[in-house]
Amino acid sequence: MRPGSEDLGPEKITSNGNPATQLKLTKLVQEIQTDTSHDVDYDRIAKIRASMEAGDLQFDPDSVANALVEDIFQLP
């Protein structure tokens, strides 16, 4: 079992007699949700999106997939 995976399972609760599911988020997920490091350049994303919508930027899904696979195998 992965460390922290015990926090990922659903927990049955009842609210007003109706069954519901409550998920516990791991500490890592909580840190990601509250991250303020601004690693994402939203201005650049907006420019890329606008270029794609205008047809000025060609999108090659094969090269994107290859880059993702290469990146995965470079993980420590």
Q: Is the pLDDT of residue 22 over 60?
A: yes
For the chain, the structural domain boundaries read 1-37, 40-76
**pTM for the model:** 0.34
Q: Is the pLDDT of residue 1 over 60?
A: no
- Give the closest residue to 8 by CA, choosing from 33, 22, 26: 26
At residue 11 the predicted structure's pLDDT band, cuts being 50, 70 and 90, is very low
Residue 50 confidence (pLDDT): 92
Residue 39 confidence (pLDDT): 75
Average pLDDT over residues 18-30: 72
Q: Which residues contact 63 (CB under 8 A, 6 or more apart)?
A: none
Higher pLDDT, 18 or 13: 18
